[in-house]
Amino acid sequence: MRIGEISKATGIPVETIRYYEKIGLVPEPERQASGYRDYRQSHLDRLLFIKRCRNLDMAQDEIRELIRLADQPDADCSEVDALLARHLSHVRERLQELASLEDTLERLQKACSEGRTVSECGILGGLTSEPAREAPTSNHNHIPGTHHHTPGTR
């Protein structure tokens, strides 16, 4: 199977597939005599696994660890459980951050009343004078798929 075919089958862009190969999440396929990559069912399976993990907002390091663990089918699954527990904790933290963000945005939106000029806009005023205590208190950002890992927690 060529890269365009596997891209279509998985819904993953060609550039992303090449990136996953480059960073070692997907093994490089063999090359045909023509030089084209020759993807196998195992590549398709791996890419679908990665896609499912990304849909769960897992970071590349988490996916890499799950792949490593999946390659040891007879091992104890406690490491998989621990990884999922850490990820779930991260998701719960993000939910709290998003709730706080929602509260802040609602307060800003209520600061504006109809019929006022932009110079009197409570939203813009609130954004320029928002107290520092309203800023997020964690090192997470709001970009999906990004995680802050503290040393030793991976």
Instruction: Decide if 22 is inside a domain.
Output: yes
- pLDDT per residue as tens digits for the range 93-115: 999 999 999 998 888 877 776 65
Instruction: Decide if 106 is inside a domain.
Output: no
Average pLDDT of the chain, as a whole number: 83
Instruction: Decide if 15 is inside a domain.
Output: yes
Which residues are within 8 A (CB) of 108 and not within 5 positions of it... i.e. 6 or more apart? 122, 123, 126, 127, 130
The residue to which tokens 């600061």 are assigned: 111
Mean pLDDT for 12-21 is 96
Q: What pLDDT, on a 0 to 100 scale, did the predictor assign at position 145?
A: 45
Q: What pLDDT, on a 0 to 100 scale, did the predictor assign at position 130?
A: 56
- Looking at the 3D structure of the chain, how many domains does it have? 1
Asked whether 55 and 61 are in contact (CB, 8 A), the reply is: no
Mean pLDDT for 28-49 is 93
Q: What angle do CA 25, 72, 46 make, to 5 degrees?
A: 30
Instruction: Decide if 39 is inside a domain.
Output: yes
Q: What pLDDT, on a 0 to 100 scale, did the predictor assign at position 112?
A: 72
pTM of this structure:
0.70
Instruction: Decide if 76 is inside a domain.
Output: no
Residue 9: which domain range?
Answer: 3-55
Q: What pLDDT, on a 0 to 100 scale, did the predictor assign at position 9?
A: 96
pLDDT at 142 over 50: no
pLDDT band for position 51 (50/70/90)? very high
CATH code, domain with 51: 1.10.1660.10
Instruction: Decide if 63 is inside a domain.
Output: no
Instruction: Decide if 77 is inside a domain.
Output: no
The residue to which tokens 């000029």 are assigned: 117
Q: What pLDDT, on a 0 to 100 scale, did the predictor assign at position 118?
A: 73
Cross-strand pairs, 38:
30
Instruction: Decide if 10 is inside a domain.
Output: yes
